Structure 1
Amino acid sequence: MPHHSPARENETWPVTIAWLVIGFVCYALPWQAFAALPGSQGSEPVLRIQGSNTIGAHLLPELVKGLLVSEGFANVSSEPGKAENEQRIHGRSSDGREAIIDLAAHGSSTGFAALKDNTAQLAASSRPIKDVEATSLSASGNLRSAKAEQVIGIDGLAIIVNPSNPLDELTTDTLAKIFSGEVKTWEEIGGRGGVIHLYARDENSGTFDTFKELVLASHGKALAGGVSRFESSDQLSTQISADPQGIGFVGLSSIQKTKALAIADGESQAMHPSATLIATEDYPLSRRLFLYMKPDESNRWARALLQFAQGDQGQALVSASGFVGQRVQAVKMAPRASMPEAYQALARNAERLSVNFRFREGSATLDNKAQRDIERLLAYLQQNSKMDKQAVLVGFGDPKQDPARAELLSKLRAMAVRRELAKEGVMFRDISGMGDALPVAANSDDDGRVKNRRVEVWVY
């Protein structure tokens, strides 16, 4: 897979192109569509958003500006807020309406705290809501419902080192030993440079929560003492680009001038954080980017931003901001000898779509993202004339004592996806199950097994 490491200084042109497209689309829309949302009263914001620095540093401001443009606010600007990692975005329309939206990016956990004390209407999070957070907000409804929990993009947790570091890949097991302090020098793992310098995000960070869950806790480790901690992923990345002995973890959009390593988990192949492997969530350290809203939220701007983020314009801005959007695309995959023969044949003759379907834990029900991906896949099949026996569903799972049972369960997952699409008239060329073949995560823990229980889509 090609290495994907978007540098911030090279992102101006895709963002500019996305803005030109949005501007053209909005200019072509009837002005009557722009009268729905109320403006600010004095200096009061119409919407407050709190939470993840990963989302709030770059992506969220672009989505907010895009929403304002789509609502007829042609004069859009931003200014720093009262504290670091805060900003206020202004929009003013030709008829004098003004809208103010406040953003604060101090970590995912702060978003849920702000929802609870009503100081924000949306929480940005780079990890799923925790049980304790969902319980504390339960009086406002189910924060895990499809209305409350919305995936707006996919990110890859990149393990970064200085460009001079000769290492190219690591396993999650070795990573856990490094960040727990068990491995102290680069020479112990085949590198060079002496003592390893550890860099990590702070305790409020969803990026740290993700790393802790996917790397440390899954291997029974805890973060070592004396680690340099950062509220900002960009600041962490800048430090490592100047430290030949450094290693850290950041979101995909903050790789900057560092080097991202290929990562393997369990029996999976070592994978770089490429756009395709992150879109399908096969990359071992891929993660979802969320916006959460109370189910009973009455703020029309909050609902409008969620709708904008899920649409084509919003997803274009997700991609232009250095993350991976959820628009379905076809990708040619190279066959490998380690693949089952039937899968090699697919790789030779068909293309894989950039979407995987996954399920609620312990359930045959599609999760919230998968339910929206059904709509995206249907639109792709319709637009590309693939509705009639041009698509293939391939199910995968985790090991069982009886391999035949593993194969059957994996096929049943594929059939669950087929049921949803058959309602809209999709006829599939083939439905198959490959059991526990081609794992993308370790099967030694629940999270890995859930990730391996997936359905791929291929088209001819």
Structure 2
Amino acid sequence: MLRPFLRSFVLWPLLFAPALVVQAQDAERVRIHGSHTLAYALTPAVAESWLRDIGYTGIRRSRPRVELTEIHAVRDGLPLVVEIASSDSARGFADLVEGRAQIAMMTRRPNAAELEAGWQLGDLASQDQEFAVALDGVAVVVARDHPLVRLDVTQLRRLFSGQARDWREFGAAAGEVHLHLLPAAGAVRDLMNERVMRGAAFGEAQLHVDAERLVAAVAADRNAIGLIPIGAHYGAGTRPLAIADGGRAVAPTQTEILSEDYPLTRRLYFYGGQMMGALSRSFALYAMARSGQRAVARSGHVAMTLVPGRVRRTMLGPAEYRQLVADAVRLPLSLRFNFAGGGESGVAASVYDSRTVRDLDRLRRFMQLPPNRGRRLLVVGFADASAGSSMAAMMMSNDRADLVAQELMTRGLRVEQARGMGTALPLAAAGSPGARYRNERVEIWML
């Protein structure tokens, strides 16, 4: 039989346990569901930064289940839980539609069937509901002394499916192709399956636990080729290849990645309904702000920020284009537009896509920095071949350039010149899925 004081000692936690359970159950929740790529590091990092900056304390992370991360915090005595459920983009969007989540994490835009299912959510292409929070992507690396400088997507698929086994097929010296990959689960394989493999299985490859070891192995083997995240370091012994997807071959430089001209780049999104609630909207908007983007960068992804460039003479495009930008610095963005149908994001209130709306504001703030004040901008527009004739494409590209130039001047920025270049420098093959979205763009250069 327990002594009285021992009974009290045993029963004390039991008396308060129900209160603790009730407190946890009654905590307000921000439910964020979807892609494992975002759920793994990015969303928790942004959530913890957000909670600190809006005055929450006692911030702690727990893992009730493998696929669930919870971030607990308290403000003014009231508890809050940020619930981050990891699955995939499709499940996250379905949870948003069905009311089980306030925010969906996605590595792509909703497809036509999803848009139809989520019609009641509002305009999912608008900047009020679509939040392009980060970029990720894949770099294709070879040894620094490898003769190859570029590949197209078809060649890349042949290599990594194991169909191409000798480098002679690509104009290099004879040698057996050695594939190097990161483990099967991860953003690199996910993006490759989406953009390159298209149903083909990966061939036999040497697996590495991280990008650093993969890069070291490729550097030591002239017949090797590997895939790493675009944020990883190449090291002294390797270099990335330029990749073409029906248009010009683009290398994964900082400017080409941030502008999304490099074809193996994708956006990471948050989506919310038009009635998403104050806390969830606060979180999504925070992710787009400077502090949120710093958290994105700390999580290992590419933040959507403007960074200074440098004058770099271009050898691409028509002579008129090369002369126009000869003494200018390309800013790391390509402004793109909303289109209806054709697998794009549906009808939106703005002619600009959601990232472009925010990039215009980022550009205004960037040009207000002391080193940039008073500097002038060049606005260069491009069109897709779907415009029809070369004359129609030139008119379209001029219209796009003029539209953006007017937008910049409205924001108090100095525009030296706005010019269209028609269908020059396409990024995607005419008529391919998403070609118009990729090709019809506006570059910004700084003088």
Could you say which TM-score interval applies, normalised by the shorter chain? Answer: 0.7 to 0.9
CA contact (8 A) 1:111 1:123 kept: yes
CA contact (8 A) 1:51 1:125 kept: yes
Instruction: Letter of the 2:73 partner, please give it.
Output: G
Of 255, 268, 284, which residue of structure 2 is paired with 1:306? Answer: 284
- Residue of structure 2 aligned with 1:132, choices 103, 113, 116: 113
Paired residues for 1:274-289 under 5 Å:
274-289=253-268
What is the CA–CA distance in structure 2 between the aligned matches of 1:256 and 1:337, rounded to whole Å?
Answer: 25
Offset of 1:164 from its aligned partner?
11
Q: Which residue of 2 aligns with 1:153?
A: 134
Give the drift of 1:137. Answer: 1.9
Q: Which residue of 2 aligns with 1:430?
A: 417
CA contact (8 A) 2:108 2:266 kept: yes
Per-residue CA distance 1:312-353 (angstroms, 9 max, x = gap) = 111122233332222223311421333433433454422222
1:57 matched to 2:40? The reply is yes
Please name the residue that 1:295 is paired with.
274
Q: Does 1:391 align with 2:377?
A: yes
- What does 1:373-384 correspond to in 2, within 5 Å? 373-384=359-370
Q: Equivalent residues in 2 for 1:157-176 (5 A)? A: 157-159=138-140, 169-176=150-157
Of 305, 316, 321, the match for 2:294: 316
1:158–1:255 Cα contact (<8 Å) kept:
no
The reply to whether residue 90 of structure 1 matches residue 72 of structure 2 is yes
Q: Name the structure 2 match of 1:178.
A: 159
Looking at structure 2, the residues matched to 254 and 355 of structure 1 have their Cα atoms a distance apart, in angstroms, of 21
2:435 matched to which residue of 1? 448
Residue aligning to 1:372: 358
TM-score by length of 1: 0.75
Conservation of the 8 A alpha-carbon contact between 1:265 and 1:442: no
Distance 1:193 1:336, change over 3 A: same
Distance (whole Å) between structure 2 residues aligned to residue 41 and residue 259 of structure 1: 54
Distance 1:144 1:444, change over 3 A: closer
Give 1:60 shift: 1.2
**Structure-2 separation of matches of 1:109 and 1:255:** 31
Equivalents in 1 of 2:228, 2:64: separation in Å? 24
TM-score (norm 2): 0.77
| Residue-by-residue CA offset, 1:265-307 (whole Å, 9 max, x unaligned) | 1565544433221111111111111001122222x32111111
Q: Which residue identity is paired with 1:438?
A: L
Check whether the contact 1:46–1:301 (CA below 8 A) recurs between aligned residues.
no
Which among 72, 77, 87 is matched to residue 106 of structure 1? 87
Q: Structure 2: which amino acid aligns with 1:296? A: M
Check whether the contact 2:377–2:444 (CA below 8 A) recurs between aligned residues.
yes
Task: Report the residue type matching 1:153 in the other structure.
Answer: A
2:241 counterpart (225, 246, 262): 262
Rounded Cα–Cα distance in structure 2 between residues aligned with 1:305 and 1:288:
18
Instruction: Say whether the 8 Å CA contact 2:150–2:244 is kept in structure 1.
Output: no
How many residue pairs get matched? 408
* Residues 417 and 48 of structure 1, relative CA distance in 2, 3 Å threshold: same
Aligned positions of 1:335-350 closer than 5 A = 335-350=313-328
Cα distance, 1:210 vs. partner? 4.6
Q: Quote the residue 2:304 is aligned against.
A: 326
Please say if residues 244 and 250 of structure 2, whose CA atoms lie closer than 8 Å, have aligned partners that are also in contact.
Answer: no
Contact 2:306 2:362 in 1 (8 A): yes
Label 1:385 to 1:338 Cα distance change in 2 as closer, same or farther (>3 A). closer
What is the CA–CA distance in structure 1 between the aligned matches of 2:413 and 2:420, rounded to whole Å?
A: 19
Q: Percent identity?
A: 28
Distance 1:432 1:386, change over 3 A: farther
Cα pair 2:306 2:366 within 8 Å, conserved:
yes
Q: Find the aligned partners of 2:209 and 2:112 in 1 and give their Cα distance.
A: 30
Counterpart in the other structure of 1:223:
200
Go from structure 1 to structure 2 and tell me whether the alpha carbon gap of 1:241 and 1:387 turns closer, same or farther (over 3 Å shift).
Answer: closer
Structure number with bigger Rg: 2
CA distance in structure 1 between the aligned counterparts of 2:143 and 2:209, rounded to whole angstroms: 14
Partner of residue 404, structure 1 = 391
SS at match of 2:302: coil
Segment drifting more, 141-150 vs 159-168: 159-168
* SS of equivalent residue, structure 2 residue 131: strand
